[in-house]
Structure 1
Amino acid sequence: MTTAFDFSDYCYVFFVWIIATLLVNSFIANFRSNSRRHPPSPPALPIIGHLHLLSARLPTCFEALAKRYGPLMQIRFGSSTFLVVSDISLAKEILKTHDVDFASKYVFGPQHHSIYKDDSFINCPYGTYWRFMKKLCVTRLFAGPQIDRFMHIREQETLKLLKSLIDRSSKGEESDLSMELSALTNNLICRMAMGKKWSENPNLSLEIRNLVREIMGRGAKLGFAEVFGPLKRFDIYGYGKKLREALWSFDGVLEQIMKDYEKNEMKGSGENEERDVMYILLETYRDENAEVKLTREQIKFFFLELFLAGVDTTSAAILWAMTELINHPHVSKKLRAEIESVVGSSRLVKESDVPNLPYLQAVIKETLRIHPPGALLRRQCNQDCKLGGFDLKQGTKILINTYAIMRDPKIWDEPDKYEPERFLNNNNSSDDHQAFEQMGTKGQDFRFLPFGSGRRACIGQPHASIVLHATIGSLIQCFDWKLKDAGKIDVQVVKGYAGAVAHSLVCYPITHFDPFKA
């Protein structure tokens, strides 16, 4: 007699076994966690942890939870545990007092789908490779002289933007300022990074931009459960596969660009050309005496991180500034009056004018305070230590909520109000607030951390600051801005932990000053 086996019964048993195993592991993890002295934590569910308490906008969600559970709390995304810091004193302890102990970073995203496993510079652990690349960045790639050398690129791309807007203004056409600004920042970075190749193929910027957008789009489709959940490695919906395909496409384009650079070097055609970022990295790659031998994968991923970190964050910051200026016409009017009093009415505002434009600086600072480009700073313990009286194990992952710190009512009067005047000396009433106008963007004052602080602060801050001031100054000097529909722009951010605007800014530019006729 033959016995018939029902395969579905085995599938059911296997499924139950998986769930039971996950529940037991979760119980054991919670038991071990509770047996040690840890920061307070909201009630967690088995397997998913605190995912049920979190909305798509993490900084605001963490801010709300911190009001209930304190400035240092423990949050669990599936099997990943983080400490969330929402207090200026704790942030200072991490970023300054014990900066070396917290100098490592980690990837807060779908690392298991990346084709560049251990090739990151921005997110790599604190060690020999990071120190080598940081030194290379501050001495050659993004040093002051190198940034000054690319001033003509910034001027050319800004004029290209203004010309496009003036053309639309003359035709009475609306402009998608979101797309215009994204193209501006992408072109700037592409020309600084690979100017030699760009001069041969001006469409390179668009090609790179499309590839980076595809990578970001693929990554955005991965939900919390697919990034932090217990079944994250199974790629149930296939989004991870599509992300890897997009990464391989970018890899192929960068590999060809690198070969073209090397071919030109062999011909001796690059000796008198401008040394862009690719040129310097390949020169370092060939250096047999270099402290660290770079790999081709590290160079490719460096460029990907450069575009991911530099394009959308800078364009989003400009977009936020324009959104607030359109929503607050009295601020825009005051800014234009300052520009006209300093620059006059016969030429375009220049980068060299910025030190003499304190209100423009205040507008940028207030924009970065309310809409920080990096709302959550990532750090990781290099060794066992204490923080806020609690024991931290080596490898503990930390998220510093700069969004909450820069909206803390104990520090800022009316923190949700857009008021650039708070950064001007004549608007400060208390001794504590009289230092606001001296706040810079380099993270030395821990009340104001738009670009982070310490060893792992944003290396692109000098470039971003120049672009922000020059671009916003030009857009206000040259145009009035009219919305398609009356009213204010809806101020919302995209899902996730970035600070990008959730919608396109479509408006009519009305020419006030034409620099091409001056």
Structure 2
Amino acid sequence: MGVLEVMLFTNVSLLSTIFTVLAILAGVLGYLYGPYWGVRGVPSPPTIPLVGHLPLLAKYGPDVFSVLAKQYGPIFRFHMGRQPLIIVADAELCREVGIKKFKDIQNRSIPSPISASPLHQKGLFFTRDARWSAMRNTILSVYQPSHLASLVPTMQSFIESATEKLDSSKEEDITFSNLSLRLTTDVIGQAAFGVNFGLSKPQSISDSINKQIGGSQDINNDEVSDFINQHIYSTTQLKMDLSGSLSIILGLLVPILQEPFRQILKRIPGTMDWKVEHTNRKLSGRLDEIVGKKMRDRERGSKDFLSLIMNARESETVSKNVFTPDYISAVTYEHLLAGSATTAFTLSSIVYLVAGHPEVEEKLLAEIDGFGPPDQMPTAHDLQHKFPYIDQVIKEAMRFYMVSPLVARETSRQVEIGGYLLPKFIFVCERSRGLGFG
């Protein structure tokens, strides 16, 4: 009897262990392949467990989507680790996603680098649902032609500063992409914060930011440089590849592990997660100082983006729960981050392309010179109607060299696209690169 009891206990323990292992295995498989199951009917290349199609991305770079579109058609599936992305590579389907069915796919998907950076999550780009709508409606007035036209004198002053720098270094090679980044950072810094970083001036750093972040004489140029360096470092570390931090890599492969590992690694000096956390904390501190100064300034006007948000918040045209100080800091910084890098890239692309076509350069200059005297500033109407050729050149350059190959959003409910029924919480990416090429 004792032997039978032992054997029975052993068998029960063995069965329990087997069922536990099977349950864990089923949970892991369900987690890894759950997102795939709802979109399994969408065509795609063969996937590799855990890494998905990342080897294809490493092989082809951003052109991977053009390669796959030729093979799999206008809508196909691409796996970033376990997460399937539904790639829409047709202009009409992109119009359907971005306009006709926008209310069902309005939220941006949050990639793993952004998940590792709370500062970037609170900007307009990754805010969601009702908060996004309220923020967007408030910000929209900044992009009216009349307001943009009022920035022309500011742009002109920074362009003149940059030109002086070019004239003083005739014998040196100038990296135009660096020059354009300094120029756009100055323009957008003034438009967003009301702060002149002075990067395009011969002196390299201006004193005006000192007044914005406290007005004390203790704040020196090194601290201003530190702010800019943190801005650049924060931008360049948002990498969605295998050269980023360990937590970002885990976020690509096994997203559920990203946040626990980030919380651990950010406390270990020397790790990439620690460096990113340290930089973001210092950058947030700088932004909070600027926002705090603006909040205390009762005569700030409404010329810059930050002042406009402050005025809307205090007049209660938007809820104070929408634009809390941390969200104000994030959305204002987002304008500097997104605007400076993308505008600088587009400017560099235009100069590169025009340099290879002298006849285009000649027509551009003729249109600018034909507008009027050099000191005549264009109005909003002028910007929209008096420079058709410049408009064409800019759009053509953006068609050749897109800032981003994809625009990624997340379905908020079940939606049909291109004959495929996509479930809730699926990432839909509009392929912007190459759509204009026949």
Matching residue's letter, 2:174:
S
Distance 1:390 1:82 in 2: 13
1:303 aligns with 2:332: yes
Structure 2 stretches lacking a partner, 5+ long: 1-19, 198-206, 211-220
1:146 aligns with 2:147: yes
Distance 1:137 1:159 in 2: 29
Corresponding residue of 1:173:
172
Corresponding residue of 1:135:
137
Matching residue's letter, 2:238:
G
Query: 1:73 touches 1:85 (CA, 8 Å); kept in 2?
Result: yes
Which whole-Å deviations, capped at 9, do the CAs of 1:412-465 have from their partners, x for residues lacking one? xxxxxxxxxxxxxxxxxxxxxxxxxxxxxxxxxxxxxxxxxxxxxxxxxxxxxx
CA 1:307–1:57: 2 relative to 1, 3 Å? farther
Match of 1:291 among 319, 322, 329: 319
Which deviates the most, 274-283 or 157-166? 274-283
The within-5 A match list for 1:416-435 is: none
Corresponding residue of 1:434:
none
Corresponding residue of 2:413:
383
Give, in angstroms, the shift of residue 246 of structure 1: 1.2
Match of 1:258 among 291, 309, 312: 291
Q: What TM-score do you get using the length of structure 1 for normalisation?
A: 0.66
Corresponding residue of 1:277:
305
Match of 1:111 among 105, 109, 114: 114
Distance 2:91 2:314 in 1: 44
Distance 1:195 1:31 in 2: 48
Give, in angstroms, the shift of residue 35 of structure 1: 7.4
The within-5 A match list for 1:64-213 is: 64-116=67-119, 119-125=122-128, 127-139=129-141, 141-169=142-170, 172-195=171-194, 200-201=208-209, 206-213=225-232
Q: What TM-score do you get using the length of structure 2 for normalisation?
A: 0.77
Which whole-Å deviations, capped at 9, do the CAs of 1:280-308 have from their partners, x for residues lacking one? 22334445563352211111111222122
1:347 aligns with 2:374: yes
Q: How much is the aligned-residue C-alpha RMSD, in angstroms? A: 3.2
Secondary structure at the counterpart of residue 110 of structure 1: helix
CA 1:401–1:283: 2 relative to 1, 3 Å? same
CA 1:399–1:22: 2 relative to 1, 3 Å? farther
CA 1:135–1:179: 2 relative to 1, 3 Å? same
Secondary structure at the counterpart of residue 433 of structure 2: helix
Query: 1:22 touches 1:47 (CA, 8 Å); kept in 2?
Result: no
Which whole-Å deviations, capped at 9, do the CAs of 1:187-228 have from their partners, x for residues lacking one? 001111222686733768755432211102233341773440
CA 1:99–1:112: 2 relative to 1, 3 Å? closer
Which deviates the most, 82-91 or 221-230? 221-230
Distance 2:378 2:28 in 1: 57
Query: 1:37 touches 1:390 (CA, 8 Å); kept in 2?
Result: no
Which deviates the most, 231-240 or 244-253? 231-240
Distance 1:42 1:59 in 2: 16
Distance 1:115 1:389 in 2: 37
Distance 2:120 2:341 in 1: 23
Distance 1:32 1:131 in 2: 28
Distance 1:321 1:338 in 2: 16
Which whole-Å deviations, capped at 9, do the CAs of 1:122-168 have from their partners, x for residues lacking one? 1222x2211111111113x3333332333321121111122222222
Match of 2:341 among 297, 306, 312: 312
CA 1:182–1:111: 2 relative to 1, 3 Å? closer
CA 1:310–1:281: 2 relative to 1, 3 Å? same
Distance 1:28 1:135 in 2: 37
Give, in angstroms, the shift of residue 259 of structure 1: 2.2
Structure 1 stretches lacking a partner, 5+ long: 1-16, 410-518
Secondary structure at the counterpart of residue 219 of structure 1: coil
Match of 1:215 among 214, 234, 242: 234
1:225 aligns with 2:249: yes
Matching residue's letter, 2:182:
A
Distance 1:310 1:22 in 2: 46
Distance 2:38 2:387 in 1: 56
Distance 1:261 1:331 in 2: 44
Secondary structure at the counterpart of residue 363 of structure 1: helix
1:399 aligns with 2:429: yes
- Give the number of the structure whose residues are more often helix, by fraction: 2
